[in-house]
Structure 1
Amino acid sequence: MRRTLGPLLLTALLTCGLATGCGDDGTATDSTGASGRSGSSTPAGDGTVEFTKIALIGQSGAGGRVDQHATILDSDAAVAAFSRQFRNASAQHRIETAISKADVPSDRTVVGAVVSLGCDVPPGVTVHGTGEALTITPMEVASPKPECLVAVTTIALVSVPSDAV
């Protein structure tokens, strides 16, 4: 009986974890300039680029690869190509919905990146210009969870001045 109880308990915990996930599955949206810079369309001296956060999407069990280099998401084809890395269609749907609901001026471009794969959704991101590339870096989680059953993929979507990409 003991040999059966252990695997059964593990299966139940994993199933519960997959159903409920870890971290925040909600989409946090904010239309304010998260970097604190306003009106600047060029990188600051420290490489920081002014941006507007569209969404931080936390998706349990989505997979994907952390790559902080920003991907330009200026068309349906670009969004579809970016979304192929995820295990389920839910992540792609959430990305498409967040972009379609965002009020992006014509002089700005939407970019995205997988910034984290772990137990926690970062509280925010920063955007830096490094020559010809943009990177989106997650902010540190104040009290990270020590462990989780299912990893949460965090996708950052921001708009930046078009001349920064």
Structure 2
Amino acid sequence: MSDKVPLTKKGAEKLREELQRLKMVDRPRIIAAIAEARAHGDLKENAEYHAAREQQSFAEGRIKEIDGKLSNATIIDVTELDAGGKVVFGATVVIVDEDTGDEVTYQIVGEDEANIKEGRISFSSPIARALIGKFQDDVVTVVTPGGEKTFEIVEVRYE
């Protein structure tokens, strides 16, 4: 993980919030659960102890993962972008499927932030790769598992 990874400012804030919760809330709760389970005696057959140790392992792994991501992140504040209408990382793009007329809005984000249900797609996804570098009113063709799809870019925002 030595390469810099792009991350929006909102995405970095979410990761920092999760890290804070893991360190300040979850970690002490797990430590207390381990201490309580130890007090019950024999650790070999102590399900509470083993469950708490497993939670601790997961939490510590996630803390390490988030620390690594944040230390390797290039944080981009989308609101300060002046890309002149060009689709870039962090931009919100409204596209229309030329076949169906369906309108969809996507924000192009880092891989850790991507969530299709929330309209955030990874910059490495086929749609994002086709959109990046284009402008409003451009038409792009995306190769999908169901064949080629053509979209018109109707709006580009930096929010």
More strand by share: 1
The two structures share one fold, judged by TM-score above 0.5: no
More helix by share: 2
Q: Which has the larger Rg?
A: 2
TM-score w.r.t. the length of structure 1 is 0.28
TM-score w.r.t. the length of structure 2 is 0.29
Higher relative contact order (CA 8 A, sep 6+): 1
